[in-house]
Structure 1
Amino acid sequence: MISIATPHRASDWRAEGRQVRPRVLQVITKLDMGGAEVIALDLVSALQRSTDFAVATVLDVEPTPVGRAMRAQLADLNIPIFLGARGHYKKGGAIVAAWRLARAVSHFQPDVVHLHTEMPELTWAIARMLFPWTRRVTMVRTVHNSELWIAWGGIGRWVTDRLATARAVAVSQAAAAADAAIGTRRPRPQAEVIYNGARVPPPAPGGGGASGSAVGDGGGMGPARAAVSVLFAGRLIAQKGPDLLPAILASAYAACPRADVKVQIAGTGPLEEALRAALVGIAPPGWVIEMTPPIGGLSLRLREFDAVLMPSRFEGFSVLAIETLLSGVPLVATRAPGLVEALPADYPFCAAVDDAQMLGLTLARILEAPQAAQQQAAAFVPELTSRFAPEAMIARYSDIYHEEHRRRAP
């Protein structure tokens, strides 16, 4: 039996007058690229003057450039980091991760554990089962996607039922609906929708795109800085639609055969090898197609690109979509659940999910007249600035932390 010393109750600390601020443990999957991870760190940065934070991960992964930047950000703020399990999560790692998370709670003694996405929820549910004293900590869970527990439906129902007393937040109406659709024995209120906030990123101090490996360049004569630069940035998983990129690019070239285009595919994931193979030899004359690791500080560099591709099949929400448009950069996107809530109702550069041909034709419109497309995108900046002001998101989460700080866990 795994044992961890039972800490004092958080309420005991308050009674002794030693705790005057909410103590919140942000629980994320890993310190690496991910929308949930970015939001968790944004909350830490914005609220660290009024709230004591620590960050715990489910997985302890080899640091990537993005992960190292996240660690540096937390170190600058003097935020404690508790790393999770190494190795395969499904082969014993889940138990180790739950033990490490319980140990983090014992050490940090939070009032609130804030869970971001399914893997942290599962890990916390296991921890509550193995270490009953952890049930005294109140819970906030943020639902970050509009399709949940893919291929893990039974486990998802068990976890959601175990965490039914948690304060639930969703990043979009689609995410809230997906969470509500999970059947549980105990009734739960529908998750409150708090849209992720974004602000206009400042211009980068300089520099070009990330260096990477060219998959094909239409004969090797591509320019060092193409006249038109296109970006796909995201994990290379089916949800993000990277498998559609070859057909999208072929459709775009057929409709607009210009010979000065550079396409950067920035991301890693299980589809990387298959995508790299599919892209070999398909670059039209004068095009450069390259695959690179994720771009650190991407929001600061969006203005380096003339268009951003987002062929997602579903999203919880998309801060990248908002940041792209706030930067005045045209976004080619699908009307996917969750993602469509980030787009203005009359946004012109979008298509149906999985419609590679129409996505390519939409991209071609931007390639034909990049400056006109940028003017169209810029027209939506005032609306998006108002709808997705980060101050609104931050203020609401602050209220929730203080409310849960005052509430004794069941």
Structure 2
Amino acid sequence: MDDARRHNTPRVLQVITHLALGGAEEVAISLAEALQHDVAFTFFTVQGGPRDEIGREFYRRLQACGIPVHSGTVLPMKLGGALAAGFQLRQLIWRLRPDIVQLHTEIPETTFACAALFGLPRELRVIRTIHNTTLWPAWARLGAWTERRLSGAEVVGVSQAARDGLHRFQTAHRVPPAPSRRSQVIYAGVHRSGGPAPRAARPLPPSGPVRVLFAGRLEPQKGVDLVPAIVEHAATLTSRPVELHIAGAGTLEPEIQRWVGTQATPWAVTMGPPIPNLAGALGEGRHDLILMPSRFEGLSLIAVEALLAGVPVIATRIPGPLEVFPDGYPLLAEPEDVPGLAGVLARAIEDLEPLTAHVVSLRSQLRDRFSLEAMGTGYLQLYRQPRPGAAQ
């Protein structure tokens, strides 16, 4: 019997898509860091090892905790990758015999469903952490197939909206939803209680540039395709100098790069790769505003990190983030509303100092709900519960 079983330590296999930019990956790794002394974690990355600086930083963080990392396949999911990674995951499960397999987002869920085709231990607990409100957007049929094979799993939403999104998909595809006793919400944690105080508003002379940041995956979900029109409109509504930086990677990168190279607004616009340790950069005051025109989000770690750092966020009024922003938060617009988002952005630029002071005052409302300690406590309690249906 190994040490984890001898000391009654839960053995949890975390399954993530890859070691690359993603909120689900950040949640899984932060959770492992928070509970490294209470839980024996192992990671399985479906799509292989780190491919960029964000991935390398994730890997270094897991190494620092002594957490083993196993890689899946570089094959595309639709070209046999799901089955290949599923078989590897099945082999790993039989070798490690974890108490719990925790799945983060659709690719790990599909991989686990494929692993189950080859046979898995009957006593295995499965926990799904739901990170988004719109599920299987391009893979509805595959999603329905996977959902039916995960019908016995326990469900954790990173927000109420994320849990509701899963329920909507299951209902639409006639999949019985997880019963309430096996479904709950545990908010993602992004900071340690008692961390550094948020910065004060950066005093700006009239000629000083306001530094705006878009950070995230360059995909339609994040609304990055709306950024050019938002910026071009906002630039006509304020004369204050602005520096906009777009940090990220994704399928829309060539399109955004072309716009950055040809845009004719007075703003200084630059583009670069994802920012490692974005929370640290926000806390150091490198950016004054965050632009987040997302179409859908499960919660938005960037919004939480920014508000806790005292950085105002211009965002859309969508489920998930609405559980982050307090009632009456002044910088929200409707999704897809380019003039509305541009107007809010211009107002934030013009009124930066008072808005920053207002955001700093909100920190006490957010710090406990989105702390790593609160997330860790919630999951540790869940891990230590008996498997549903097990003899008491």
TM-score (norm 2): 0.90
One-letter code of the match for 1:128?
A
Secondary structure, counterpart of 2:8 in structure 1: coil
Aligned pairs (5 A) from 1:58-137: 58-130=46-118, 132-137=119-124
CA shift at 1:104, angstroms?
Answer: 2.0
1:164 aligns with 2:151: yes
Q: Distance in 2 between matches of 1:53 and 1:146?
A: 27
Aligned to 2:186: 194
SS in 1 for 2:236: helix
Q: Partner residue of 1:139?
A: 126
1:394: how far off?
1.2
Check whether the contact 2:90–2:120 (CA below 8 A) recurs between aligned residues.
no
Query: Structure 1 residue 298 and structure 2 residue 285: aligned?
Result: no
Measured in 2, the distance between the counterparts of 1:170 and 1:78 equals 27
Q: Give the % identical residues.
A: 40
Distance in 1, matches of 2:117 and 2:20, equals 28
Bigger mean CA offset, 161-170 vs 16-25: 16-25
Q: Which runs of 5+ in 1 are unaligned?
A: 1-12, 205-224
Structure 1 position 330 matched with structure 2 position 320 = no
Of residues 265, 274, 279, the one that matches 2:260 is 279
* Aligned counterpart, 1:363: 345
The Cα of 1:203 is off from its aligned counterpart by: 8.1
AA aligned to 2:357 is: Q
Alpha-carbon separation, structure 2, partners of 1:265 and 1:185: 40
Asked if structure 1 preserves the Cα contact closer than 8 Å seen for 2:18 and 2:50, the reply is: no
Contact 1:333–1:350 (8 Å) recurs in 2: yes
Specify whether residues 87 and 254 from structure 1 end up closer, same or farther in structure 2 by C-alpha distance, changes over 3 A only.
same
Change in CA separation of 1:62 and 1:195 when aligned onto 2, cut-off 3 Å: closer
Which one of 180, 193, 197 corresponds to residue 167 of structure 2? 180
Gaps of 5+ in 2: 199-206
- Cα distance change, pair 226–297 in 1 and its aligned pair in 2 (3 A): farther
Q: Secondary structure at the match of 1:136?
A: coil
Which residue identity is paired with 2:28? A
Listed as ranges, the matches of 1:261-410 within 5 Å are 261-285=242-266, 287-302=267-282, 303-404=285-386, 408=390
**Residue of structure 1 in register with 2:229 after alignment:** 247
2:202 — aligned with what?
Answer: none
Change (3 A) 1:239 1:153: same
| Structure 1 contact 112–404 (Cα < 8 Å) conserved | no
Return the offset for 1:192.
0.9
Q: Provide, for residues 232-286 of structure 1, a one-character-per-residue CA deviation record: whole Å limited to 9, x for no partner.
A: 000000000001111111122111022x32111000100111122233332423x
Return 303-312 or 354-363, whichever deviates more: 354-363
Matched residue pairs, number? Answer: 373
Alignment partners' CA distance in 2, 1:112 and 1:50: 14
Aligned-partner Cα distance in 1 for 2:5–2:291:
53
State the alpha-carbon separation in 2 of the partners of residues 388 and 72 from structure 1: 24
CA contact (8 A) 1:283 1:289 kept: no
Counterpart of 1:254 in 2: which secondary structure?
A: coil
Shift in alpha-carbon separation, 1:161–1:19, aligned structure 2, 3 A: farther
Q: CA RMSD, aligned part only? A: 2.2
Structure 1, 179-188 or 156-165: larger mean CA deviation: 179-188
Against the structure 1 CA distance between its residues 136 and 70, is the aligned structure 2 distance closer, same or farther, given a 3 Å change threshold? same
Distance in structure 2 (CA, Å) of the matches to 1:404 and 1:93: 33
Query: 2:293·2:316 contact (CA, 8 Å) conserved in 1?
Result: yes
Partner Cα distance (1:85, 1:53) in 2 = 21
Amino acid across the alignment from 1:199: H
Question: Deviation string for 1:85-139 (max 9, x for gaps)?
Answer: 1121110111111011112213322100000111101100110111x23443110
Quote the offset at 1:373 in angstroms.
Answer: 1.9
